[in-house]
């Protein structure tokens, strides 16, 4: 099957290597190719490569304790829902973009893991504050990114979907 079967969450990165901005921008372009309700303009992205900001964000996710060892993140940001024609579908737009970014990362030999943020109000508020977002936009999720230490991290783990035909 295609590359989607090889996307696994990667939590250990080679911190001696930096992902070039041009590659990060390509990942974001992949995110923006994802479907969105009524082609609404619902998404933005932020590249975070300053360690002090990453360390601040790490405090939000202290239960996971992973991102202190990461030097690059992409934040998937929702535009102000009040400005959208289909605000109720916006979280799905954002989730689709997140997955596209992580799959394209595999394509480029980059590991990733997303950090659960939206719809946890407390996490969203803290993340917004750290990034200085206070105009109705909001942090949907962060994707931690890096070149993996373990080259075998993109292993296939075929899932067993429940498939019904013609009725649920």
Ligand X SMILES: Cc1cc2nc3c(=O)[nH]c(=O)nc-3n(C[C@H](O)[C@H](O)[C@H](O)COP(=O)(O)O)c2cc1C
111-115 and 72-78 as β-strands: parallel, antiparallel, unpaired? unpaired
Neighbours of 116 (CB within 10 A): 12
Tell me which residue of 109, 108, 117 sits closest to 143, measured CA to CA: 117
d(CA 126, CA 140): 12
- Tell me the residue number closest to ligand X, measured at CB: 116
CB of 66 to ligand X, least distance (A): 5
Q: How far is the CB of 54 from ligand X (least distance, A)?
A: 14
Q: Judged by CB under 6 A, which of 116, 119, 129, 136 binds ligand X?
A: 116
Interface stretch with ligand X, choices 36-44, 50-58, 113-121, 130-138 (CB under 6 A): 113-121
Out of 58, 101, 103, 113, the only residue in the binding site for ligand X (CB under 6 A) is 113
What gap in Å lies between CA 70 and CA 138, rounded to an integer? 22
Return d(Cα 155, Cα 152) in angstroms, integer. Answer: 6
**Dihedral through CA 119, CA 23, CA 111, CA 35, nearest 10?**
40
Candidates 3-11, 25-33, 35-43, 120-128 — which segment interacts with ligand X by CB under 6 A? 3-11
**Interaction between residue 130 and ligand X (CB under 6 A):** no
Identified binder of ligand X from the candidate list 23, 37, 47, 66, rule CB under 6 A: 66
Task: Please report, as ranges, the residues that interact with ligand X according to CB under 6 A.
Answer: 8-9, 11, 61, 64, 66, 113-116
């Amino acid at each position: 099957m295609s590359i989607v079967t090889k996307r696994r969450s990667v939590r250990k990165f080679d911190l001696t290597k930096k992902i070039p901005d041009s590659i990060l921008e390509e990942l974001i372009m992949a995110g923006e190719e994802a479907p969105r309700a009524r082609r609404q303009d619902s998404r933005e992205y932020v590249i975070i490569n300053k360690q002090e900001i990453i360390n601040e964000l790490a405090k939000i996710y202290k239960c996971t304790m992973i991102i202190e060892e990461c030097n690059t993140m992409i934040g998937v940001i929702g535009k102000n829902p009040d400005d959208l024609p289909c605000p109720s579908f916006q979280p799905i737009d954002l989730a689709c973009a997140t997955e596209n970014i992580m799959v394209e990362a595999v394509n480029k030999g980059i590991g990733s893991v997303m950090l659960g943020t939206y719809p946890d109000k407390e996490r969203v508020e803290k993340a917004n504050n750290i990034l200085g977002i206070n105009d109705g936009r909001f942090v949907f999720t962060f994707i931690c990114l890096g070149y993996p230490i373990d080259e075998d991290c993109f292993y296939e783990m075929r899932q067993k979907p429940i498939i019904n035909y013609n009725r649920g």
